[in-house]
Amino acid sequence: MCCSGFLKMMMFIFNGIIFVAGAAILGVGIWVKVDSNSFMGILNGVEAIPPQLSQLANVGYLLIGVGAVLLVIGFLGCCGAMKESRCMLLTFFSIVLIIFLIEVAGAVVLLVFKDVAENVFDSLEGEVKKSLGAEYGSDESLTSLWNSTMEGFQCCGYKNYTDFNGSPFVVQNGGFYPSQCCNGTSFGKACSQSAAHLAAELKMVDGCFTKLLQFIEENSAIIAGVALGIAALEIAAMVVSMILYKDIGTKA
């Protein structure tokens, strides 16, 4: 009885943590989905988008799905232990095992994507520059998305301010560049080419390509750490659920 009570308590602890982790992953998934929509909107004018990059739109759905299922299995595990239901415990074990395998596959995808991300984004340079040069300042949607991206990441262009050379914005503003390219020194107004060049030379403003790679790398490390922690909890929960399953069967 003492051992059984301890195992039940462990199930409550494990599943409570899994439930909270599921809520966190669900929130991150929603955020990733919203953010990826904005990023993919920037690329609408790009003629050739690598298939690897288009899969970013699916990452949010994957996180939302995993988070929602973790919420369900957290609740299911607690109920199965409390009611001593072999059916619920077996269902709990099966679902956790499936989720664990999906997470392993997802981790592999993230590791592979991290290795090829720089090459993928680098291959977009010519198309993105072409899009910026032809439409930034004339296409309201593209201009707004780029402004939001540059403000959010504190960056300028794809690689630097020269990506805006010959763009409608520069032409309409007498050779002046977006304010984001000058490290905020222009106080929200367009700035001269010399100011943008100085900011780029002094590394005060990085290109959005560099900032995006940093963003992916930083968040990949966080996601990987969280995934490892959740995987360890899931393995422990599966072991405990099977012990309880066997124990309940012995009592019957």
Residue 169 has pLDDT above 80, yes or no: yes
Q: Are residues 20 and 84 in the same domain?
A: yes
In a domain, 209, yes or no: no
At residue 186, the pLDDT reads 47
* Residue 232 tokens, joined: 């360890």
My answer on whether 25 and 144 are in the same domain is no
- Which pTM does this prediction carry? 0.50
Q: Are residues 112 and 153 in the same domain?
A: no
Q: Is the pLDDT of residue 33 over 50?
A: yes
Query: Looking at residues 198-224, what average pLDDT do you find?
Result: 76
Residues 11, 58, single domain; the answer is yes
90 and 106 both lie in a single domain: yes
Same domain for 93 and 132, yes or no, is no
* Claim to verify: residue 133 and residue 27 sit in the same structural domain: no
User: Per residue in 100-139, pLDDT tens?
Assistant: 887 777 767 666 665 565 565 666 677 788 888 888 888 8
Total domains in the chain come to 2
If asked whether residues 111 and 6 sit together in one domain, one would say yes
Q: For residue 87, what are the domain limits?
A: 2-119+216-251
What does the pLDDT read at residue 48?
47
